[in-house]
Amino acid sequence: MERTCFKCLDEIKGCFADEDNISNPPLNATYWTTYGNYGSSVWDSNDYYLEIYICDECLRTSKATVYKVRQEIPKLVVETWNKDEKH
């Protein structure tokens, strides 16, 4: 399976040598899934989900548009993601 970054379209390799193994996690990247949500006019499905990959460099340079969310019962805590913060 060929994987490319959703933003820059660079190729993303797997962590392990077996590139054909779909469960091989991405190296220097993250993957994201969504089943869609109410209100999207592009994607909202009960049967399938979308999966995208974002390389670490694109994630790092786009932190201003990313929110960290932590669930604390009974609320969600939403914070901006500091560009200098390491995780």
- Between the CA atoms of 55, 59, 61 and 65, what dihedral angle is there, to the nearest 10 degrees? 150
- The verdict on pTM exceeding 0.75 is no
Whether the bond into 74 is cis, omega within 30 of 0: yes
Closest C-alpha among 84, 40, 38, 34 to residue 64: 84
Per-residue pLDDT of the chain (87 residues; tens, 9 = 90+): 689 999 999 999 988 877 666 678 899 999 998 887 788 888 877 788 888 999 999 999 988 888 888 888 777 777 777 766 665
Question: What Rg do the C-alpha atoms of the chain give, in angstroms?
Answer: 15
Question: What was the pLDDT predicted at 85?
Answer: 64
Q: Sign (positive/negative) of CA torsion 62, 72, 35, 52?
A: positive
Domain count, the chain: 1
Expressed as residue numbers, the domain containing 47 is 1-87
Task: Round to whole Å and give the CA distance between 83 and 79.
Answer: 12
